[in-house]
Structure 1
Amino acid sequence: MELKKNRLTFGLLIDWVVGWEDIDYYQSIILSGVQEFVLENDINLICLVTGRLNSPNEWERSRNILFEFVDKNKFDGLIVLSSSISGYGTSKNILKGLGNFSDIPIVIVGELYDEYCSVSSDNRSGMRQVIDHLIEVHNCSKIAFIKGVEGSMDTEVRFQAYIESLTAHNIPFNPDLVYSGNFLHKSGSNAVKELIRKNIQFDAIASSNDNMAIGALVELHKRMGKIPDNIPITGFDDTQSSHFHAITTVHQSFLTQASTASSLLLRMINGEKVPLKTEVPVDMVIRSSCGCIPAIVTNTFASFDEYVEAPYESLKEQIISELNEINSLIGFAENSSEQEHLFLYTQKLLDAFYEELYQNKSNEFIHAWNAMIFWMIMKNAKISFLHDLLSSIRKIILPVLSDASCLVVAENLFHAARVQIIDALQRTAATVDHLSSIQTGSLELLGEDLVTNLDLNTQMDLVYKVLPELGIKKCYITLYEDPEKPLEYSRMVLAFDESGRFNTGPSGITFPSRDLIPSKFFESLSADRFSIIVQVLNQGDDQLGLSICSFDSKISKTYEIFRYRLSVALKGSLLIEKIKNQALDLEKQVIERTSELSETNNQLLDEVSRRTSAEEQLKKALKELEFYNKQLHLQSLQDELTRLYNRRGFMELGCEYYERAKAFGKGFLLIYGDMDWLKQINDSYGHAEGDFAIAKTAEILNISFRRMDIIARLGGDEFTVIVSDASPHEDKEIRERLENNFLKFNQTSHKPYKLSLTVGTAYFEPSQPCTFEDLIKKADLDLYNKKQLKKRI
């Protein structure tokens, strides 16, 4: 089926939707940049989440099937994130894959190729700036270098820049100072361990990316008991994590890369000649990890050596000119509409400042500042950029104010503006946390409901109810007719948009798999410009189907969590469906055999035997169905990560135990626990490490209590235990046992963090019974008081 209609359609191939934290990642920023371009130019966008080539993980290799859905009938052109898709191999892997799309215009983002139009950051210049800085400013001559994945273009170019800088400064190259990493946090830590183990002397560490630089920083902190102030550490990329750890790094504008690639692709489609290689400029960002005073601090200094009188318009032009230099920090693509609006808002801000300072128009500057902050929040821009903008305005304006009263007013305005920035950052963070918790809660409930209701139609009803609440306006769920031959035929089992749900019938609508969706649904989708993201539904290497959802300006982890939850549930429902169909087939055989028995008496004994056999098979199938239902019910009571009871299991078993205890007059202890510092573990080391911490906490609880006790994970970092037949005096003993077991783990785990659990308790007194819900509330209140006590300590 040819998908192209009245407007062009871009394809974007990425390996992953987004990281597990609510911050911008490379893939999501590129996706946002391409989305901005297609919106401005009325172009459709289909994003295929293909996974990485040659991945050691079977679940990721299953995503590679989406390469088979690329053809010229669907796409007018492709943008490919080669540096991430080819993460487990060399450039030859990606070139081999792209060779199948020779009839489609292609622009590659992330690496430079001779064979394709490609866009990348100026890696050589960026790394050269960093190494030159370490040598010329910090007098370093024994600079350890942590390389990225072998075979990656980014790795090789950045390493060559390191060599060039050493050569230019007459510093001999020492191969012992070079460590081959893989761009992951752990390889930065391992690099430091290896250097120390081999007793190799070094006076600085330059890393090929921020992730490994943070790993090196954490490892040095662990060994020295503090962040070293005499060993400069640098990274590359300017990720959100580098801000948190104050890493001196190289800022590359992924949005500019995305808009440049999109513009080049459109020109190629229109038949224009475009450059084969385009490098986007980069800038070094000075922070404290190299020992320098960060630019955000030095930029606040204003010089008062002598008073210089200057007309207001001249000052305005000077500030706008400086804004050009610091604009890269905000992340807007060059020459974009956002960049134009930024200059307009800055001009309005300066006019308001002048009116308030000299025309006594009260609160004009504050209102203008608020308007600019609100606009940046709406654009998902980095609000911290306003500190740099405010510092530039202050540095230029203060030296021309000769009147003391004007100086006081100006400083008051600048101080108020700083307070507004901090308030906006706090409010934004609180809003993000609140919305994230709401979305996470909705997704957890959806996941629970999906695995509990193992009927396909019921599951699709649940998806249709929840996804619009999460901001997903269009969704199409398709399942392969034969998972062994996924590229032949699929059936659409759910389709909806803003107008409502489409009728797909009780068994779905069958269509050729490579079409993505049936033609009549595409006609509805393409009535207006659209942007959709295509993800694989799978369990390990079991191919199930596709999830196709619309998105607006940004992609969050919601899409990946939904894909995973739906895949798990569909595996169960499709298994049940298969068993039911087998039972129906057997029942049909019974009916057919019975009909044949009436035709002839001569074959009566033989046919009765066959009927009996078929009935036995039917009974066996029904028993299997009953068995699978029981197994699936048990799975619905179990937490997937820790294998403890989940919230549903705890409430079901806990209520049963409560009723027995009340009936027999037996007391018991209810413990309500909350992990400490899980968010910091997730933020610093990623959600994979956070999941490890949760699992280890579950193991500690298992060894701390008896098999007869009911232990559950309610969700997130919350755990609860019913200690059967316990007395209220055992509270202290249980707490000490828990603390000792956590201490043993922390002493032997060699992790950069400590595990601990704050617990609250409530005792069920048979002589003074309360409801099970009230008992939980008492334990939760005790937990809250313990948490507050810890904060005060």
Structure 2
Amino acid sequence: MEEKKRYNLGVLIGGVHTYFPKEHIKGISEAASELDVNVCFFLGTRTKDFFEDVLGSKQKNSYDYQFNTIHDYSLIGGLDGLIINYGTLGIQLREVDPNEFARKYNGITTVFLTEVVDVPNCHSLICDNKGGIAMVISHLVEEHHLSRILFMAGPEHNTDAIERKEAYLETMKKYGLPVTHGMIAQGDYSEFVDKQVEYLLDSNPDAQAIVFANDEMAFAGYRVCEKRGLVVGKDIMITGFDDCERASGMEPPLTTIQQDGELMGKMAVYDLVNRLDGKDPGKEAVSRRVPVSFVKRESCGCVSEDVSKKETPMGLGAQVHRLNKTIAGMKLELISFQRKSWFIPVLARDLNDCMDDEQAFLKEIMEKMRELHTRCTHLFLLDEPIVYDGKRKWTCPYNLHLAASYENGKIITKAAYERPLVMKENGICDLMENEERHQFMVFLLFSGEKQYGLLACDIDQEDFPFFYVISLQIGLSLHYLEISKAEAARRLEMSRDIEEIKEKNRVLGIISEYDELTGLLNLRGFMEHTKRVCQAGNGQRAYMIYGDLDHLKEINDTWGHPAGNFALRSVAEILKGCLRSNDILGRVGGDEYIIMLECEEADFGEKFRERVKMACKLFNEKSGKPFLVEISLGIAEFRPNISTDIQQVISLADQQLYEAKKHRKKSVSRANNEGA
């Protein structure tokens, strides 16, 4: 009898830094283990709100939009079934219609969580949002006789949030309680909605209660009320939705609606596997609701004695035990993360040492995955990095290749020409398949606007935060590897150019007129070319420009003479890029360069100074060197003719250079100029 194939299930889930998605992941993981199926989590998250809360300022360059793209990689995942937690994705996605989103994945049997869709081959699981909010409002009105009840809504296009807001409006109407526009604020399900809470309280000084669409936002309510001197549970009542880990440990404990995220995750896996097995879904073919319970605690004004009567689904003793367990787990997780955090700079250092050898670079990543005790790891790279700015329409790439693997204690890296291509018929899971059951966490590898590929690690859920940071570091190192490749190509091109110049000099017999290091004219060559221009001069305006590489001695003393030579050659290239083909450029001393050009513009000198300054800035942004290449310029205007004293004009330019050098930076060390 043929052995049954182990299914490969994919999970699209975002907001994995928050409580409820974590519960879904936990339930999915447990069910996948019970049913012996592989599961591949395509993970998204958000950092913008977190950093703005920590740093207290708007983040100009948030690249969270990159996480929206990881979902489409599941299309080449080699998946048998898919679980989509659209409630967490919809916060970030541009698609406001979940049916439109579902149709993208219509070729795969799918279970939608926290959303109802009407698309073939899809089944939905969603909690009883309206029933939960109705229980909260009814309790506040009937038990506490409140009437000024405010509402913090969730994301605008999120179905859970929409239903909870509708339930608030319907229940308030049922009790004949008016609701004005200023009684509702729009949140995003994150804990960082302090400004929205401030708005509600400023608009409603007589507020008696705030009902939050989830617990995470309720925590912001606690924080704002404490700043204002309002005692939660006495001066103002607060309720949440979810009953997350921190809810019972708040001061006072948070009254909330309990929905079982683990149960929903388990139900999703069992429903999906049943469908893959061809079992009849029956009456629940379209969608079903997951029941919720009202958890009464002190934040709504109830006294602690009420809690001990076990009117909540969980007794007081069980709540205390759960809270202690949560606190202990968080402490252990923090200690573990602190210890592991030392691993990040080591990883960065070791990868930096491999920038001249891509195979060694990939092997080093896999070595680190072995040291971190991943069960197995696979690294997928794009042929060329994809630039995505988050504005144009995203299209899933079809040039992803398996580049390196660590499994069964062995490390395998592949050269670019032998890497297998990921396709629908030969998907990500197919390339990772072996006899063992796996749970892969898939991370997008990117740096800024550039995507480089995916990292798939078979790890436990609690290891996700640390490996998320690891993936960010690998993405950054891939960016440096790309820069290193480009720099090597430029060096090769520069070397070829210099060799070509040398060869032409030998053929033409004019080696004595050229500088060997830079390929520019030397002093003799410069004077000969300038004399010819002056002898043919007709009184046209011209400029003599004396240039000097800033702080060559510092570069040589700190980073060595090869670095100094690199800087000297770079100055030559920068100046050549700012000149026309018929302008005369030479290196006339150790760090001195001289230019003679004809131009009728009266203010050309300052324009040229700015042009060189900008060229240096662009060069330094891309050089990857620990030092800056800066050029000071002295500029003298003259009108060349047969009687021109070239040495005198050069002397005038040199005097101007002396004045310009007074304003140069005190150091060209990049570290000394950070933030300048």
TM-score bracket, normalised by the shorter chain, equals 0.5 to 0.7
Q: Deviations over 1:673-694 (max 9, x none)?
A: xxxxxxxxxxxxxxxxxxxxxx
Q: 1:616 to 1:545 in 2, by over 3 A?
A: farther
Q: 1:266 to 1:72 in 2, by over 3 A?
A: farther
Aligned partner (choices 191, 202, 215) of residue 220 of structure 2? 215
Deviation at 1:594, TM superposition (A): 10
Deviation at 1:632, TM superposition (A): 4.2
Aligned equivalents of 1:622, 1:386: Cα separation in 2: 74
Partner of residue 469, structure 1: 371
- Normalising by structure 1, report the TM-score: 0.56
Q: Deviations over 1:466-498 (max 9, x none)?
A: 333333221222332222488343454432123
**Correspondence list, 1:332-351, <5 A:** none
Partner of residue 113, structure 2: 109
Partner of residue 256, structure 2: 249
Partner of residue 539, structure 1: 447
Aligned partner (choices 432, 437, 441) of residue 333 of structure 2? 432
2:419 is the alignment partner of 1:510: yes
Amino acid at match of 1:293: V
Partner of residue 382, structure 1: none
Q: Deviations over 1:531-560 (max 9, x none)?
A: 222221111211222212112354420121
RMSD of aligned C-alpha atoms? 4.5
Aligned partner (choices 192, 203, 207) of residue 202 of structure 1? 207
2:289 is the alignment partner of 1:279: yes
Aligned equivalents of 1:463, 1:48: Cα separation in 2: 20
Say if 2:218 and 2:238, in contact at 8 Å, map to a contact too: yes
2:348 is the alignment partner of 1:447: yes
Q: Deviations over 1:653-707 (max 9, x none)?
A: xxxxxxxxxxxxxxxxxxxxxxxxxxxxxxxxxxxxxxxxxxxxxxxxxxxxxx9
Partner of residue 22, structure 2: 28
Partner of residue 697, structure 1: none
Amino acid at match of 1:500: K
Say if 2:126 and 2:289, in contact at 8 Å, map to a contact too: yes
Deviation at 1:172, TM superposition (A): 3.8
Q: What 5-or-longer segments of structure 1 have no aligned partner?
A: 301-321, 330-384, 391-417, 598-602, 636-706, 713-793
Deviation at 1:74, TM superposition (A): 0.7
**Correspondence list, 1:562-711, <5 A:** 562-584=470-492, 605=508, 632=624, 634=626
- Identical columns (%): 21
Partner of residue 76, structure 1: 80
Q: 1:50 to 1:262 in 2, by over 3 A?
A: same
Aligned equivalents of 2:147, 2:188: Cα separation in 1: 25
Partner of residue 435, structure 2: 527
Which secondary structure state, in structure 1, belongs to the residue aligned with residue 481 of structure 2?
helix
Aligned equivalents of 1:579, 1:481: Cα separation in 2: 19
Which secondary structure state, in structure 1, belongs to the residue aligned with residue 150 of structure 2?
strand
Q: Deviations over 1:417-451 (max 9, x none)?
A: x8xx9987776555333322222222343235445
Aligned equivalents of 1:255, 1:119: Cα separation in 2: 13
Q: Deviations over 1:310-331 (max 9, x none)?
A: xxxxxxxxxxxx9xx94xx5xx
Partner of residue 14, structure 1: 13
Aligned equivalents of 1:177, 1:612: Cα separation in 2: 77
Give the number of the structure whose alpha-carbon radius of gyration is greater. Answer: 2
Which secondary structure state, in structure 1, belongs to the residue aligned with residue 384 of structure 2?
coil
Amino acid at match of 1:292: C
Q: Deviations over 1:163-194 (max 9, x none)?
A: 2322333434444422233333343x334433
Aligned equivalents of 1:65, 1:614: Cα separation in 2: 48
Partner of residue 120, structure 1: 126
Aligned partner (choices 177, 183, 186) of residue 180 of structure 1? 186
**Correspondence list, 1:299-448, <5 A:** 299=309, 326=313, 387-388=317-318, 428=329, 430-448=331-349
Deviation at 1:109, TM superposition (A): 0.6
Which secondary structure state, in structure 2, belongs to the residue aligned with residue 556 of structure 1?
helix
Aligned equivalents of 1:126, 1:262: Cα separation in 2: 24
Aligned equivalents of 1:176, 1:389: Cα separation in 2: 36
Amino acid at match of 2:488: K
Amino acid at match of 2:155: V
Aligned equivalents of 2:425, 2:407: Cα separation in 1: 16
Q: Deviations over 1:287-317 (max 9, x none)?
A: 22112235895148xxxxxxxxxxxxxxxxx
Amino acid at match of 2:292: V
Partner of residue 230, structure 1: 235
Say if 1:145 and 1:205, in contact at 8 Å, map to a contact too: yes
Which secondary structure state, in structure 1, belongs to the residue aligned with residue 6 of structure 2?
coil
| Bigger shift: residues 528-537 or 423-432 | 423-432
Partner of residue 92, structure 1: 96
Partner of residue 146, structure 1: 152
Which secondary structure state, in structure 2, belongs to the residue aligned with residue 229 of structure 1?
coil
Aligned partner (choices 390, 405, 421) of residue 495 of structure 1? 405
Which secondary structure state, in structure 1, belongs to the residue aligned with residue 265 of structure 2?
helix
Aligned equivalents of 1:91, 1:488: Cα separation in 2: 22
Say if 1:533 and 1:548, in contact at 8 Å, map to a contact too: yes
Say if 2:153 and 2:186, in contact at 8 Å, map to a contact too: yes
Deviation at 1:460, TM superposition (A): 3.6
Partner of residue 135, structure 1: 141
Q: Deviations over 1:748-785 (max 9, x none)?
A: xxxxxxxxxxxxxxxxxxxxxxxxxxxxxxxxxxxxxx
Say if 2:246 and 2:323, in contact at 8 Å, map to a contact too: no
Q: 1:73 to 1:180 in 2, by over 3 A?
A: closer
Partner of residue 301, structure 2: 291
Which secondary structure state, in structure 2, belongs to the residue aligned with residue 475 of structure 1?
strand
Amino acid at match of 1:257: M
- Normalising by structure 2, report the TM-score: 0.65
Aligned equivalents of 2:36, 2:112: Cα separation in 1: 22
Aligned equivalents of 1:523, 1:529: Cα separation in 2: 14
Aligned equivalents of 2:329, 2:263: Cα separation in 1: 25
Deviation at 1:465, TM superposition (A): 3.4
Say if 2:374 and 2:459, in contact at 8 Å, map to a contact too: yes
Say if 1:106 and 1:265, in contact at 8 Å, map to a contact too: yes
Which secondary structure state, in structure 2, belongs to the residue aligned with residue 117 of structure 1?
strand
Q: 1:57 to 1:425 in 2, by over 3 A?
A: closer
Deviation at 1:81, TM superposition (A): 1.0
Aligned equivalents of 1:105, 1:629: Cα separation in 2: 48
Aligned equivalents of 1:147, 1:435: Cα separation in 2: 36
Say if 2:402 and 2:421, in contact at 8 Å, map to a contact too: no
Amino acid at match of 1:482: E
Q: What 5-or-longer segments of structure 2 have no aligned partner?
A: 50-59, 388-395, 521-564, 574-618, 628-665, 672-676
Partner of residue 665, structure 1: none
Aligned equivalents of 1:389, 1:204: Cα separation in 2: 24
| Bigger shift: residues 275-284 or 68-77 | 68-77
Which secondary structure state, in structure 1, belongs to the residue aligned with residue 152 of structure 2?
strand
Q: 1:237 to 1:633 in 2, by over 3 A?
A: farther
Aligned equivalents of 2:195, 2:32: Cα separation in 1: 42
